[in-house]
Amino acid sequence: MILLTDKGNQHSLKAIVAATLAGVALDVTIVDSTDQVVPHLRKNRLPVLDLGGGVLIFSSNSICRYLLAQGGLDTDDIQVEEWLEWEATQLQPILGPFMASVFGGSKVDSEILKPLLTYLNTSLQGKEYLVKNKLCAADISIWAALYPAQVSKPDLLSAYPNVASWVQNLGAQSAFQRGVSTVTNDKGAGSFKVSVLAQPIVQRPSTDARSAKEEEPGTAEVVTADEIKYAKEAWLHGRTTMPSPRQRNHPLLPEKGLHNVLITSALPYVNNVPHLGNIIGCVLSADVFSRFCRLRNYNSLYICGTDEYGTATETKALAEGLTPQQICDKYYRIHKDIYDWFSIDFDYFGRTTTKQQTEIAQDIFLRLHERKFLVKDTVEQLLCEKCSRFLADRFVEGICPLCNYPDARGDQCDKCGKLINATELKNPRCKVCSSSPVIKTSEHLFLDLPKLEPQLQKFFNKSSSEGDWTSNAKLITSSWIRDGLKPRCITRDLKWGTPVPLDGFRDKVFYVWFDAPIGYPSITANYTDKWEKWWKNPQEVQMYNFMAKDNVPFHSVVFPCTLLGAEDNYTLVNHLVATEYLNYEDGKFSKSRGVGVFGDMAKDTGIPSDIWRFYLLYVRPETMDSTFSWTDLVLKNNSELLNNLGNFINRGLTFLEKNFGSVLPKMILESEDEQLLALVTRELKNYKELLEKSKIRDALRHILNISRLGNQHIQASQPWVLVKGGEKERIRAGTVIGLCANISCLLSTMLLPYMPVTSSTIQQQLNASSECNVITDKFVCCLETGHKIGTPKPLFEKLDQAHIEQLKKKFGGQQQQQQQQNDSKDVKAEPVKAQTPNKPGQPQGVDAEAVKRLTDEVTKQGDAVRKLKTAKAEKSAIDAEVKKLLSLKQQLAAASGQSATTPDSSKGKKKKGGKK
C-alpha cells in the first residue's frame, strides 16, 4: 500500500501510527501539495491511500480505520464513530484557522479552542483512552490533530491536565513516535508549517469513508440540474399546492387515515427541581419533536406530568415538614412554572396522584394476576425497629457492596450506577433516624418477567427494527434480555402510593416503577375520557418515548411486559429516544452543593429562555455525554445566533426597509439564485429527514447552514452596491434581498420547534402569515412581490463576558461557600437584646426568663436541624436552620451571663443539644 502525502502533513500521522500498530507495511511517497493525485477531484486532497487497482481512500480518518482493521485493531463502537465525527466537524474547523494563525504570523487566540479542549478534558477524566480504555482510531485521530498545535504552543494544554497527560502518554508510545519522526523528518514543529498553510480551511468536513469513485467530501455547494429544476419549480409554483396548517381542536383523538403520533417524555419526579440535564433529557427534546409533528400536520398528542408516588416523595415531605400530598402540590406548581418559562408546549401536563391512575393501575394489575403473570415471594427487607417500619429503598443508605461508595442508596449506587438491593448494603443506616436496621422478611408480589420474555423479545425485535430506537436504547434493552430477565418486585411496604387491590397485600402499595409509567395512560385519561383511542389502538397510533438513558429499562422492558401481560391491546412504544447525560462544566449538577443551573434559576440569569433552549439543543447528548459550558454558551450565542442567524435576517430586512420602503420588490432569478434555492432545499430536506428520526441536535445544524448560505449570497451579490446603479442593477438588488427575505421566512418556520419565541418575533418582523408554518420538502415563495414587512429589529444580544463570569461563579458552588462564611460572620456579630434586672442570688447579667425561653427555643431548633440532617435535606435548607440555631445559642449564652464565644460554653451546648 502506498500513502501519498506532502511534506509535514499532520493528517499523515494518523495513517503512519495506525499502520505501525497494525504491522502493515506502508510505502510513504512524498508529492507536492498541489499535485492532483486523485484525478476526478476538483480540489486536491492529501493524504491519499492507494490500495491498487484504482481504489483510493482520501479521508484521513477512513485511512486510519482501514489500516487498523488490517491488523484486527479497529473498534466497531458507536462512540468511536462519534469521536471521529467530533474531530472532523467540530475540532478541525476551529483548529485549521488556529494553526494557520500560528504559522502565518497573525494574532493567535487560544480561547477559540477552550470549549473543545474543556470538553475533551472532561471526557478523559480518570481514563487512559477515549473509548472503553482501549486505544482506538479516535485516540489516534484526535491526537494527530492536536499534536502540531501543542508542540507549537507548549502552554496550550496547561489548563487541561487530562488532555495533557493523554497527549503525553500516547506520544511516548513507539508507534506515535515513529509517526512523528516520519512526518517531520525529525526536524520539529516547524516541519508542519508549509503543509498547514497550503491546506484549505475546513468548512464542512467529511465524516464518512469514501472511495475514489464517490463525490469529493466538502463540496456541498455543488448541485445537480435536477435539484435546481425541483427547487425552481417549488419556488415558482409550490405555494398553490402547499397545505395549510392543520387545526388542532382539543381533545385531540386519533383519526383513521391520519398519521397519529402519541408523544410522551419521562415523567419528572415531583420531589425536586429539574436541572438543565433533566430538561434536555426529556421534556425539551419531546417538545421539539412535538412542535415538528405539528409543522408536518401530523395528528399528534404530547402528554406528560409529574410522577408523585413513592419513597422519594415521603422523604422530601419529612424533610420539609409537609404531608406527601402537600409536597406534590408544591412541586407540581414549581415544575409547571419552569416548563412554562421554557416554552414547553404540552397538550396536557398532568400528575399521577389521581383517581384515573388508581383505576387504570389496579385494572392492569388485576389482569396480570388473572393471567398468572404475578408470583409471590418472601423478601428480606430492612426493618428500622426505632421507626417501627420496613425501610423502602430510598429510606436506607450504606456502603456500596460493589465500589465501596459510602452513601449508596438502597436501590442504586450513584457512584458506580449499579442496581443493588438494600440488604446488600454494608453498614446500612436508616435515613430517618440513622439507626442500624435489622433484616426481616415480608411477602411481596413480583411481575414474572421470565414468563413474559418470549413476548418481549418478539416485540423488541419488531419495534427496534421498524421504529427509530436510539443506539443506547437498543443496547441497554438487548443486554437486559441477553442476561436473562428475572422476576421484578412490584409492591412496597409504604403508605404513599397506589393501593394493591388484593387480599393479603392491601396494606401495601405499588412500587413506583410499576406504577409510574402507567401515568402516561392515566394522564391521558385526565385529558380525555376517550383515552383508550390513544392507548388501546396500536394499529393506528405511533408512540414515541423521550427520556435519558437511565430510564430505558423501565420503558423498554418493565412497562412493555406489564402491558403485554395485561392482554388488553395496549399501544406499545414504537420509537424509544434516549439521550446520554449532560454534565455541568467539569462535573455534575448538584443541588446540595449549589453546582449547576436548575430550572427555577435560569430565568433569573437574564438570559432569554430561547437562548437556553438553543444551547441545550445544540449540545444535546444524543449519542454520547455532553457538557454545558458557560464559555461555549457565549461562543455559540455570539457566533451562531448573533453573527450568523441574527445578522443574516436583520441585515436583509433592514436593507429592504431602507431601500425598498419595506415592500418586497420584483424578483427575477438568475443562475446563482437558482443554485441557492437548490442548496436551501437540500438543507431543508436534511432537516426534515433528521427530525423524522428524532435527530434533534443534528437537524439544528441545517438551520444554521441555511443562514450561512444566505449571508454568503448577500456578501457575494453586494446589493448595497447594486442598488446605487441603474434599473437593471436595482432589480438585481431587489431579487437578492427578496430571496433572502423568503429564506428568513423559511428559517422562522424551521426555528419554531427550537426557538418558538424567536420564530414568532421573526414572523412579526416579516408580517408573515401563520400559513407558512408547514414543513415539506419544498422551499416556496411565501412572501411575494408587493408584500410589506413589519419593523426589523436585532433578534439577539451579545452575551457580556463579565456577566457570564459572575454567573459561572454563582452556579459553581463558590458563591454558596462564600455565603456560608458571611452567614457565620453575621451570627457572631448579632447584637444581644437588653437584659432585665437579676433576681436575688442570680449571677450578674443572667436573665432567668430569657434563659428559660431561649433554652426551649434552642432545644426545639436543635431537633429541627437534626431532623433535616437525618433526612438528607438540601444543604441550603440545613444551613438556614443551623444559622437560626447558632443565633439562638449566642442569645442564650448572653442571657446566661456567658460570653458567646467561650469555648467551654460552646462545648457544653453541643453536649446538651446533641450532635450538630
Amino acid at 233: E
Residues β-bridged to residue 2? 27, 50
- The x, y and z cell numbers of residue 655, run together, are 436593507
In this prediction, residue 207 carries a pLDDT of: 32
C-alpha 495/C-alpha 324 separation (Å) is 10
- Distances in Å between the Cα of 805 and the Cα atoms of 418, 446, 546 are 36, 52, 33
Question: Has residue 897 got a pLDDT over 70?
Answer: no
Q: What percent of the chain has pLDDT over 70?
A: 86
Assess whether pLDDT exceeds 70 at residue 203: no
pLDDT tens for residues 9-20?
888 999 999 999
Residue 830 has pLDDT above 80, yes or no: no
What does 155-185 look like in DSSP terms, one character per residue? TTTTT-HHHHHHHHHHHTSHHHHHHHHHHHT
Where does the pLDDT of residue 877 fall: very low under 50, low under 70, confident under 90, or very high at 90 and above? low
Q: State the average pLDDT for the chain.
A: 85
The three cell numbers locating residue 558: 418493565
Mean pLDDT (whole number) for 258-267: 97
Cα(771)–Cα(122) distance, integer angstroms: 45
Under DSSP, is residue 381 helix (H, G, I), strand (E, B) or coil?
A: strand
What local confidence, expressed as pLDDT, does residue 38 receive? 66
Instruction: Report d(CA 25, CA 67) in Å as an integer.
Output: 10
For residue 398, pLDDT over 50 is answered with yes
Q: Which of 34-43, 146-155, 230-239, 679-688 has the lowest mean pLDDT?
A: 34-43
User: In 683-703, which positions are buried (b, 16+ CB within 10 angstroms) versus exposed (e)?
Assistant: bbbbbbebbeebbbbbbbbbb
Given the DSSP bridges, would you call strands 348-351 and 299-306 parallel, antiparallel or unpaired? parallel
The H or E element that residue 78 is part of is helix 78-86
The string of pLDDT tens digits covering residues 5-60 is 888 888 899 999 999 999 999 888 888 766 666 665 545 578 888 888 777 887 88
pLDDT digits (tens, 9 = 90+) for 595-605: 889 989 998 99
| Residue 748 CB neighbours (<10 A) | 24
Q: What pLDDT is stored for residue 36 in this prediction?
A: 64
pLDDT at 582 over 60: yes
- How far apart are alpha carbons 480 and 199 in whole angstroms? 48
Residue 114 has pLDDT above 90, yes or no: no
Q: If DSSP codes are grouped into helix, strand and coil, which group holds residue 339?
A: helix
Q: At 828, is the pLDDT very low, low, confident or very high (cuts 50, 70, 90)?
A: very low
d(CA 876, CA 865): 12
pLDDT value, residue 796: 96
In the chain, what percentage of residues exceed pLDDT 90?
Answer: 58
Residue with cell 388508581: 358
Q: What is the mean pLDDT of residues 251-277?
A: 95
C-alpha cell of residue 451? 414468563
What's the average model confidence in pLDDT over 530-535?
Answer: 98
Residues β-bridged to residue 29 = 4
pLDDT for the residue 906: 33
pLDDT band with cut points at 50, 70 and 90 for residue 480 = very high
Q: What is the pLDDT of residue 302?
A: 98
* Mean pLDDT calculated for residue range 498-520: 95
Bond before 148 cis per omega within 30 degrees: no
pTM of the model: 0.68
Q: Quick: pLDDT tens for 647-676.
A: 999 999 999 999 999 999 999 999 999 999
pLDDT the model gives residue 890: 67
Could you say which DSSP state residue 610 is in?
H
Q: What number is the average pLDDT over the span 857-885? A: 68
> pLDDT at residue 846 above 50?
no
pLDDT digits (tens, 9 = 90+) for 678-730: 999 999 999 999 999 999 999 999 999 999 999 989 988 999 999 999 999 99
DSSP code, position 307: B
Distance between the two ends of the chain, CA-based, in angstroms? 72
Grid coordinates representing 32 are 507536492
pLDDT at 278 exceeding the cut of 90: yes
Rg (CA), the chain: 32
Q: What is the reported pLDDT for 412?
A: 81
**For residue 209, pLDDT beyond 80:** no
829 pLDDT band (50/70/90 cuts)? very low
Q: Which pLDDT value is given to residue 724?
A: 94
Worst-scoring range by mean pLDDT, 2-6, 57-61, 107-111? 107-111
- Could you give the maximum distance between any two Cα atoms of the chain, in Å? 113
In this structure, are residues 124 and 162 in contact, taking their beta carbons and an 8 Å threshold? yes
pLDDT at 848: 56
Give CA–CA dist 199/41, Å, rounded: 15
Give residue 588's pLDDT band: very low, low, confident or very high (50, 70, 90).
confident
Residue 759 has pLDDT above 90, yes or no: yes
